Amino acid sequence: MIGLDTNVLVRYVAQDDAKQSLKATRLIESLSADAPGYVSIVSIIELVWVLTGCYESTKGEICEVLETLLRTKEIVVAHADTVWKALRLFKEGKADFADCLIERSANEAGCSYTATFDRDAAKYSGMKLVE
């Protein structure tokens, strides 16, 4: 298993740099179920931020990318069950993906709630507003 940094994932998804995208494609397509690529939670969050902020990807496009990563047998996503739960919450509502993942991660860790000062996170992702 090898770790995949966010920039490798971005080059593969965006296909925006001739040299790096070719290398990323070659690397990712060489992975197998026996020798998979590993994607950390941090890389998942960064990938969503980059796709949203730099590439102006739609929510649907982001969901498609994440679903593909999660379903690909040649890719191991850290805490995949929690990422799936966060993705469902993200798809269903207006919450930011990072907020969904923070809330679902805390829930999976046994927290009774996640405290936040972010009103939107409290309203849309199920966190509890600190007042």
pLDDT in the model for residue 8? 98
| 94-99: long-range contacts, CB 8 A cutoff, minimum separation 24 | 94/120, 94/123, 94/124, 95/120, 95/121, 95/124, 95/125, 96/120, 96/121, 96/124, 96/125, 97/45, 97/48, 97/62, 98/45, 98/48, 98/49, 99/124, 99/125, 99/127
For 38-50, what is the mean pLDDT? Answer: 98
| pTM of full prediction above 0.85 | yes
User: Does residue 93 surpass a pLDDT of 90?
Assistant: no
